[in-house]
Chains A and B, each alone.
Chain A
Amino acid sequence: MEKLIYDNEICIGCKNCEMICSLIHLADSIGNASRMKNYPLIDGILFGSTFCQQCSPAPCQKQCEAEALTKDEKTGVVHLDKDKCQKCFLCIDACPFGGISIPAPEDFPIKCELCDGDPKCVKFCPTHALRYGEEEKQLTKRQKNMAMRLKKTYVPGVKQ
């Protein structure tokens, strides 16, 4: 199953991933309405990103009583059905990797669904820090650790 892979060691922090993601998916709110967030210079580590890891089983799915979150077993993508969402936002807390956020001024959650198998952030990434393909275990592990740290110190886009 193909995954979105991020290598922070070759990331240059240009945030083109963020801007393109929001331009394509929620153009009324560029930059903020991104399903992918990129952060600069944390604890001596240069860049870090948060985005959905398409987990199985997915902790966000478990929390969702409205069954708005479903896993496509074929593609591995966790989909979010905006119409079913009850806006309880428990999924946001449930995700350990900061992969779900609410883009102000909207009030619904957004998450990466891999652009139907053609992630645009990958297309616009200048350095191939973002890749789409077979899982690279070491990078996924590094990414998850980094995202958990980011989530602990800073939850993106959530307005209480």
Chain B
Amino acid sequence: MYGYQGKYLFVDLSKLEYKVFDLDPSMVEKYLGGMGINLKLMQEYGRPGLDPYSPENPIIIGTGPFVGTSAPAACKTFVTTKYPLNNWIGTAVGGMNFARELKKAGFDHVAIVGQAPKPVYLLIEDGELFFKDAEDLWGHQDIYDTTDTLRERHGIDCSVISIGQAGENLVGMSLCLIDYIASLGKGGLAAVMGSKRLKAIGAKGSGAIRVADPEGLLEVVTPMAEAMKASPIREKMMTLGSMGAWPHWSETVGNPYKGWREVFPRDRLRERFGPDAFLTEIKTTKIACPGCYMPCKEIYDYTTEDGVDRRTYASSFIGRVTAFGARLDVGTIAASLDCHELCSRMGIDTYCVSSALDYLITLYEDGVIGLDDTDGFVLKRDYPTTMKLLEQIGLRQGVGGKLSDSLFDLEKVFGKKFEALIKGMDYIFDGRNNRLGTYEFEEVVNPRGAHQHPGGSPTYGSRNIDIQQMVNYCNAMGLTEQEKKEVFYRDDDFNVARMVRHCEEYYSTYNITGVCSRKITKVFYNMDIFSRMFACITGMEVSPRELKQAGERAWNLLKLLNAAEGASRADDRFPDLWFEPMHDGEEALRFTDYYGRKVLEREDLDNLLDDYYSDRGWSKTRGTPTVETLKKLGLEGEYIDLKNKNAQLMIENG
């Protein structure tokens, strides 16, 4: 096989045994790879209704056929499991070296089930898998230390996915890091690994990745590489990195806090965390994932307030500003990097935890909880409080420890609901300060929870995007003239719901092939390039339309898997909070359409959801695929299997 290694590992941690299976060629033809094959393996190895912490809940790891071939930015690792933060099935995506090393080791995918009798880590190397004792790491080493240890033991080219204390302690908002830096598994992947007593996975290989037509691939890649090298986006990434987004992110839309009812004062944030401070206060080194020309990852060397020199790593600095500078008002860049470092070491999702701590501290500020509830701990928006609460969450101690499970039922604990959640997951983009772009709509309809990324479009980072740019993006996504007519229902507007459906399918193409879907990469790809590259790499002729349909198939399977978990239209609910004003200085921000022309009522959103479901061929009442749609996509077998495993799964006929 070209592009694929043609094999996957099945690992049973309970028995400490593994098997190597060939990838079924008909499965490859149908699902094409990455997220597609991951979801198929999830349907085969999983069962609806499993507790995420049950040994039977599979962890499916995947790569894509483009990974490691020199296709620009093709580096992604995909992990599908049932996530404990909100009990939905999703596929997480992470960068750095793991996918490429896994392929060099001879495998496209890994399916892991069971629970090890005692802590272990896995080493996957050149066609073999080794179960390694991790008792010396468990409870002793955080993510950075564990990654160091595995690299010392197995070589500096060993790529490492590791969990920290939060994963060991089954914290819902835990995640893993790949090679110190790339986050993987928002929603508790680390806790699922922790429940399996799986501390880390290392991969390294010296094997070959082969492509069908090297010369053809070089012909496609060369102009892309030249364009990326010459791009002003790359120049910006080399200096400001993610802080290039500052004008939109922090100035135009601003950062909500205080229970998402206020926007953090912009001048205060700019002075302490703005681009000037970023460029002068810390030393930043840029890093790119393998195959990428746009270094979005960074290493920060900084000095703490106590005068200690420290190093930490992240994918986007501006996220550290949002999480710790604005939401928790920790005061300085060094303080926010300290908070980030602690989260990285323990394996805690910085966005999720800062949102949860904002909720907790707001309760305290509003007098909903008091010293009796916090064991005498005064909760303030500052650095020491944040650090202490982060540690409490990771170690399940004190008042912070009450946030360590799921977030959707905290009303029972604290007497007031955590409102800034969708499907039990925190969201980044709020409809009031961002308005209703594709990201905000995606947060609501994503089966996995409020994960905005599949809704990628030019509405990100821009307030009043020219409609022509949206049309151009639809051309890149491979929409037909008819589809474009439906999206652009008038000259100066687009239907966000109908647009999102295509964004999700385009996103799936990236996740099937293994290419990074960040905006900075996306501008150099389009459906035609994907199709040409697919032929050069795999030798399989797959038209842009067929690729799009493979994306549609993967997205429908994701929805079907969650329908079998009980997902319905009621879960795709815009937060009540978005219908209340958000205070931005003197101004009250309202939830409007993307161009800010109309304040939205729930009825408007119900209509948009109707559009979304009907475009998808899903039942408007249930919000899930119909039998007819599943048939069209060749998913009847998958439906029957899930129905056999869970008789409660109800799918409408027409």
Residues of A within 8 A of B (CB): 12-16, 19-20, 23-24, 27-33, 39-42, 46, 103-105, 123-124, 126-127, 153-154, 157, 159
Known: A30-B70, A104-B207, A123-B225. 16 other contacts (CB 8 A): A14-B288, A14-B289, A14-B293, A15-B291, A19-B69, A23-B214, A27-B210, A27-B214, A31-B104, A31-B208, A32-B209, A39-B156, A39-B157, A46-B299, A154-B156, A154-B157
Q: A16–B295 Cα gap in the complex (Å)?
A: 12
- Cβ-based interface call for B229 (8 A): yes
| Chain A min CB distance to B160 (Å) | 11
Do A127 and B238 contact each other (CB < 8 Å), given the known contacts A13-B287, A19-B70?
yes
CB contacts (< 8 Å) of A13 on chain B: these are 287-288, 290
- Cβ-based interface call for B228 (8 A): yes
| Chain A min CB distance to B297 (Å) | 9
Q: Is the CB of B104 within 8 A of A32?
A: yes
From B70, B217, B221, B290, residue with most partner A Cβ within 10 Å: B70
CB contacts (< 8 Å) of A14 on chain B: these are 288-293, 295
Q: A12–B295 Cα gap in the complex (Å)?
A: 7
Q: A126–B288 Cα gap in the complex (Å)?
A: 10
- Cβ-based interface call for B585 (8 A): no
Q: A46–B285 Cα gap in the complex (Å)?
A: 9
Q: Is the CB of A40 within 8 A of B156?
A: yes
| Chain B min CB distance to A19 (Å) | 4
Q: Is the CB of A104 within 8 A of B206?
A: yes
Q: Is the CB of B69 within 8 A of A32?
A: no
CB contacts (< 8 Å) of A105 on chain B: these are 207-208
Mark each residue of chain B from 65 to 90: 1 if its CB lies under 8 Å from any CB of chain A, else 0: 00011100000000000000000000
| Chain A min CB distance to B105 (Å) | 11
Do A126 and B214 contact each other (CB < 8 Å), given the known contacts A13-B287, A14-B288, A153-B156?
no
Q: A153–B218 Cα gap in the complex (Å)?
A: 33
- Cβ-based interface call for B117 (8 A): no
- Cβ-based interface call for B234 (8 A): yes
- Cβ-based interface call for B261 (8 A): no
- Cβ-based interface call for B349 (8 A): no
Do A126 and B228 contact each other (CB < 8 Å), given the known contacts A14-B289, A19-B68, A153-B156?
yes
Q: A126–B286 Cα gap in the complex (Å)?
A: 12
CB contacts (< 8 Å) of B295 on chain A: these are 12, 14, 126
19 A-B pairs (CB sep. < 8 Å): A13-B287, A14-B288, A14-B289, A14-B295, A16-B225, A16-B291, A19-B290, A23-B221, A29-B208, A29-B210, A32-B209, A33-B208, A39-B156, A42-B156, A104-B206, A123-B225, A153-B156, A154-B155, A154-B156
| Chain B min CB distance to A92 (Å) | 14
Q: Is the CB of A24 within 8 A of B218?
A: yes
Q: Is the CB of A124 within 8 A of B288?
A: no
CB contacts (< 8 Å) of B620 on chain A: these are none
CB contacts (< 8 Å) of A46 on chain B: these are 285, 287, 299
Which chain B residues (194-249) contact chain A, with CB distance < 8 Å? Answer: 205-211, 214, 217-218, 221, 225, 228-229, 234, 238
Do A23 and B290 contact each other (CB < 8 Å), given the known contacts A12-B295, A46-B299?
no
Q: Is the CB of A30 within 8 A of B210?
A: yes
Q: How many B residues touch A, CB cutoff 8 Å?
A: 41
Q: Is the CB of B286 within 8 A of A12?
A: yes
Residues of B within 8 A of A (CB): 68-70, 97, 100, 104, 126, 151, 155-157, 179-180, 205-211, 214, 217-218, 221, 225, 228-229, 234, 238, 285-295, 299
CB contacts (< 8 Å) of B210 on chain A: these are 27-30
CB contacts (< 8 Å) of A126 on chain B: these are 225, 228-229, 234, 288, 293-295
CB contacts (< 8 Å) of A20 on chain B: these are 70, 221
Q: Is the CB of B287 within 8 A of A12?
A: yes
- Chain B residue nearest to A15 (CB atoms) is B290
- Chain A residue nearest to B229 (CB atoms) is A126
CB contacts (< 8 Å) of B238 on chain A: these are 127
Do A157 and B206 contact each other (CB < 8 Å), given the known contacts A13-B288, A23-B214, A126-B293?
yes
Q: A42–B285 Cα gap in the complex (Å)?
A: 15
Q: A23–B222 Cα gap in the complex (Å)?
A: 12
Q: A86–B221 Cα gap in the complex (Å)?
A: 36
- Chain A residue nearest to B148 (CB atoms) is A41
- Chain A residue nearest to B228 (CB atoms) is A126
Q: A40–B151 Cα gap in the complex (Å)?
A: 11
- Chain A residue nearest to B157 (CB atoms) is A39
CB contacts (< 8 Å) of A127 on chain B: these are 238
CB contacts (< 8 Å) of B208 on chain A: these are 28-33, 103-105
CB contacts (< 8 Å) of A33 on chain B: these are 208
| Chain A min CB distance to B70 (Å) | 4
Q: A102–B290 Cα gap in the complex (Å)?
A: 21
- Chain B residue nearest to A126 (CB atoms) is B293
Q: A23–B218 Cα gap in the complex (Å)?
A: 8
Q: Is the CB of A29 within 8 A of B156?
A: no
Q: Is the CB of B156 within 8 A of A23?
A: no
CB contacts (< 8 Å) of B151 on chain A: these are 41
- Chain A residue nearest to B293 (CB atoms) is A126
Q: A20–B69 Cα gap in the complex (Å)?
A: 8
Q: A65–B221 Cα gap in the complex (Å)?
A: 40
Q: Is the CB of B207 within 8 A of A41?
A: no
| Chain A min CB distance to B225 (Å) | 5
- Chain B residue nearest to A125 (CB atoms) is B229
- Chain B residue nearest to A13 (CB atoms) is B287
- Chain B residue nearest to A22 (CB atoms) is B70
CB contacts (< 8 Å) of B289 on chain A: these are 14
